[in-house]
Amino acid sequence: MKKTFRNILIASLFSGLLVSCSNDDDTQQETIEGFGDAELFFDNGMAGDALILGGSKTNSNNETLTVNRLNYIISNVVLIEEDGTEYVYPKNESYFIISQEGDMHTVHLENIPAGDYTQVRFGIGVDELRYLEGETAQQEFWDYAAANNMTWTWSTGYRFINFEGTFTSENNSEPLQFQVHQGSNSATDNYREVTLNLPTTARVRVDEMPNIHIIADANTIVDGTNKIVLSENLNTAGTNASIMGGENLILIAENTQQMFTVDHVHNGGGSHQH
C-alpha cells in the first residue's frame, strides 16, 4: 500500500511539473498582432567618412570632389519577413526625398503589420508605372520634388539623384563644376531597386518602432564598380562635367544599386537618435 501511494505521489508530481513547464512555455510565447510604425534613417557618407557639404574627398579616379548637393528619391518600400512574407507599403504613399542640404534623412512608415522583418527593399527614383499615371495623379509629390530640385519639366520627368559640386583632377587644378542627375528618359529606364539584409531583426510592434540605419555612400555614384571620370565628361567649353543621360548614366544607375548598406537596426519606442 505504501509503495502504491508513493507511485501515485510521484506520478502526480511529474504530471504537475509537465503542466508547469507547459504553462511557462505558453507564457513565454509572444503574440504578434496589431500594427506599428518603422523608420528608415539614411546617413549619407563619402567613402567611409561622413558627408559634409563643402568638404572634399579624393576618389580612386584621382579626382577630388567637393560635394555641394546630394538629394535622392526613395520609393516603393517593402519590408520582408524571414519566411519571405512581404509587406508592400501603399504605393501612393511610398515616395520620399532624402536631402543632405535640406537635412531630410528619415522615411517614416505607418500602420505596418506587426512582425519580425529581416530585409528591406526600395526603389531609387520614380518607377515608370507611377510616372505614366500622369501629373495630376502625383501633383502633391511632383510639387514637393520640384521644391527640392528633383525635377526637370514634366515631359522629362524626375531627377532620381541630384549630385552636384566641384572637382579638380590632374587635368584641371582649378575647380570645375560637376552635375550628375540620374533619371529616366525616352531611351532608358534608370529606375533601380535595392534589397538589403538587416543585421538584426526589425521588430514592428504596437508599442515598439524599429529604426533601420542605412549608410548611403555618395562616392559610389561615380566611383563604384563602374568608374566615371568627370574630367572625361566635360562640355565643349571645358567648364563643367554634366552627366544627365547616355551610357554613363546607365553605368551610374548600376553603381547606385551598391550605394546603400544597413549599419544597424535600433529596436525601441522612439525615433532614431543621431
The tens digit of pLDDT for each residue in 119-161 reads: 999 999 999 999 999 888 999 999 999 999 999 988 889 999 9
242 Cβ contact partners less than 8 Å away, ≥ 6 residues apart: 178, 179, 233, 235
Residue 23 pLDDT > 90: no
- Range from 86-95, 110-119, 252-261, 262-271 carrying the lowest mean pLDDT: 262-271
User: With bands split at pLDDT 50, 70 and 90, how would you rate the model's confidence at 187?
Assistant: confident
Q: How far apart are CA 211 and CA 90, in angstroms?
A: 19
Q: How far apart are CA 120 and CA 113, in angstroms?
A: 14
Give the 3-state secondary structure of residue 83: coil
Q: What does the angle CA 26 – CA 116 – CA 94 come to, to the nearest 5 degrees?
A: 145
Grid cell, residue 181, equals: 542627375
Q: How far apart are CA 198 and CA 179, in angstroms?
A: 32
Per the CB < 8 A criterion, the answer to whether 267 and 210 are in contact is yes
Q: How far apart are CA 186 and CA 33, in angstroms?
A: 45
The distance from CA 223 to its chain's CA centroid, rounded to whole angstroms, is 19
| pLDDT, mean of residues 223-247 | 94
Q: What is the dihedral of CA 204, 85, 260, 267, to 10 degrees?
A: 20
Q: How far apart are CA 236 and CA 248, in angstroms?
A: 17
Task: Transcribe 186-219 into DSSP letters.
Answer: SS----EEEEEEEEEEEEEBTTBEEEEEEEEETT
| pLDDT, mean of residues 243-267 | 96
User: With bands split at pLDDT 50, 70 and 90, how would you rate the model's confidence at 270?
Assistant: low
Give the 3-state secondary structure of residue 239: coil
- Range from 71-80, 88-97, 213-222, 262-271 carrying the lowest mean pLDDT: 262-271
Grid cell, residue 9, equals: 505521489
Residue 115 pLDDT > 80: yes
116 Cβ contact partners less than 8 Å away, ≥ 6 residues apart: 32, 81, 82, 201, 202, 203, 204
Per the CB < 8 A criterion, the answer to whether 44 and 53 are in contact is no
How many CB atoms are located within 10 Å of the residue 128 CB?
A: 12
Per the CB < 8 A criterion, the answer to whether 182 and 190 are in contact is yes
Residue 164 pLDDT > 70: yes
Per the CB < 8 A criterion, the answer to whether 121 and 80 are in contact is yes
Which pLDDT score, from 0 to 100, does residue 22 have? 44
Grid cell, residue 83, equals: 519566411
User: With bands split at pLDDT 50, 70 and 90, how would you rate the model's confidence at 20?
Assistant: very low
User: With bands split at pLDDT 50, 70 and 90, how would you rate the model's confidence at 30?
Assistant: low
Per the CB < 8 A criterion, the answer to whether 162 and 181 are in contact is yes
DSSP state of 10: H
